[in-house]
Structure 1
Amino acid sequence: MLSIVIDCHCRLKRPNFGFAILGIFLKSGYEPTIVTFDTLIKGLLLVGRIPEAAKVFWKLLAYQLCEPDEHTYSTMINRFCKARDTLEAIDLLCLLEKEKVNCKPNVYAYSAVIDGLCKEGKVDDGLQLFSSLGDKGISANVVTYNPIIEGLCNMRIMDEAEDILKKMIANEVCPDVWTCNIFVNL
């Protein structure tokens, strides 16, 4: 019940009230779940308080308050990349890859980092990570391919962008509107 109240405050862009409810939660002897912490982290992210969300996340790991899940990691990685902090996203991705936690990064986590790298002009780094996905047992999807293609097009490396598009189609990943717009807007 208290998690619902926390969620309501966070959706109203009042994460401070959510943390106050967490205090009541703890004083009452209830143990919060990962859903409670996910809600608080998303509340902080919703109002642009990314450093504070990261602090809560890293404390969650350090103090082992509860075990973050795939959703928690993907949310943080995505937000780090959107805030142009791909270095922190890569650190988190590396932590997941080293098996220090119970879940592995998924295609969405890798796609967010690849997108972040390409948007920062680090297309070669994005391509390197993209190329390693098969070795990790991850199948790229349209969200993984698009930033690579767009990054290559922005750098005017059209032959390689077309090769990636052909690889995408050969791997039975259907181009979407974004893929088409990349080539149309050149």
Structure 2
Amino acid sequence: MLPPLPGKIVASSLLTGGAVTVSQTEDGIRMEVAAADRQPIDTIVALDLDSPASDIASIKWPSGAVSEGKAATASNVYQSMSEYDAGKAFDDNDATRWATDGGTHAAWLEVDLGAPATISRAVIKEAFDRVQSFELQHKTGEAWETFARGTNIGERREVKFKPLTAQYLRLNILEATDGPTLWEFQLFK
């Protein structure tokens, strides 16, 4: 399902040959292309709208992270400024970030999913390549249990692990060259 469009789709065609079926609701757009009409490299669908496409603002494609918009806390926030608070790492926006004070070499970032959820993958997007060692942890009772470890997060690090069910999870940064800062910490089913 694609995100909804503010305009109405009046016609559609498959530029690479074949047929496409398009249905549009207020929840989004669904396109169906028969397997025989799909191309191995690209399948291009053209949509004709009732208004100019150039009048439509960019549409954000949701990540599908179960952690998006959930309550977050951190051991440190850069100069206690709200524009760098823990929630920025869970807002599904690569233009905002959680940041820590300069000189910080270890920190943690925690999320409360609101209810237990099963996850099997994390995506961490770091700014400035400062993290050298980290752990992913989930809370069991009052204790934190490590379920994955790594080094050097970088621009985008995907960590896959055996599915686990938890409500509270955290990224525990054990070592960083300077104040860790992350664009996103996303958790997926």
Per the TM superposition, whether the score is higher than 0.5 is no
TM-score range for the pair, normalised by the shorter chain length: under 0.3
TM-score (norm 2): 0.27
More strand by share: 2
In terms of Rg, which structure is larger? 2
**What's the TM-score, normalizing by structure 1?**
0.27
